[in-house]
A and B are shown apart, each in its own frame.
Chain A
């Protein structure tokens, strides 16, 4: 199918590439369908683009590239909505906020987005027990 976007033009997307978020995302409860857009092959940065709202996209980062120690520790019931029984099979990305100066970008490690590649279901989980911030600097500055 064709997905219209503000930043990437019209994307040709296979149905099986559409990730469904049954609960939407916090702040965007009505947005259920997204696609992961590769900025450039092999890049740890991608976009999570809404299928239904051309204007809505998030820059997302593969957290382990930037934070090798990062761990997503959740309860099994946190992953039940996306039918992910083996957490290590999930794809984890974290949402980046980009101020004018890209070097000041921050990433939300408190609430990673977990995707089950087998069911194409996604969920933004909240790591209740962990001491991760919602605005962790993505880059070491200075």
Chain B
């Protein structure tokens, strides 16, 4: 891993299109500003991993269509909020 030291207001560039700026430094938190092309998704890693894990869980959990059909939409809506 490349390790760089930066001060507040300083920038790191990644390739030609991506810039990461250190906006604010507090005790154990850093606020970053990220400029990237629209096609480059930027996420907090742990949030993205939680979504991945939940998608995998949802795909693995899917019961048979027959079983789901038995729970009619009407019933579901009545039980729903």
Contact = CB atoms under 8 A, between A and B. Distances in A.
Interface of A: 7-8, 23, 25-28, 39-40, 42-45, 47, 56-59, 65-68, 77, 80-81, 95-99, 102-103, 108, 110-111, 124, 126, 128, 134-135, 138-140
Interface stretch (B15-23, B25-33, B43-51): B43-51
Interface of B: 38-39, 41, 43-44, 47-48, 50-59, 61-65, 68-69, 71-73, 76-77, 79-81
5 contacts: A28-B59, A40-B72, A67-B81, A99-B61, A108-B54
A46 B15 CA distance: 42
Contact of B79 (A27, A43, A57, A139): A139
Nearest to A25: B55
A113 B23 CA distance: 31
A58 B47 contact: no
Contacts of B81: 66-68, 139-140
Contacts of B59: 27-28, 56-58
Contacts, number: 105
B77 A98 contact: no
Closest 10 CB pairs of A and B: A43-B73, A27-B52, A27-B55, A7-B65, A26-B52, A97-B58, A111-B51, A26-B51, A80-B38, A134-B54
Contact of A65 (B41, B65, B71, B77): B77
Contacts of A139: 76, 79-81
A108 B62 contact: no
Given A40-B73, A77-B38, A98-B63, A110 B51 contact: yes
Contacts of B71: 102
B80 A65 contact: yes
B62 A7 contact: yes
The listed residue with most A CB atoms (<10 A of its CB), out of B48, B62, B64, is B62
Given A47-B65, A58-B58, A111-B51, 16 more contacts: A26-B51, A26-B55, A39-B69, A39-B73, A44-B73, A45-B68, A58-B59, A95-B54, A95-B55, A97-B54, A98-B61, A98-B68, A102-B63, A110-B51, A124-B51, A126-B48
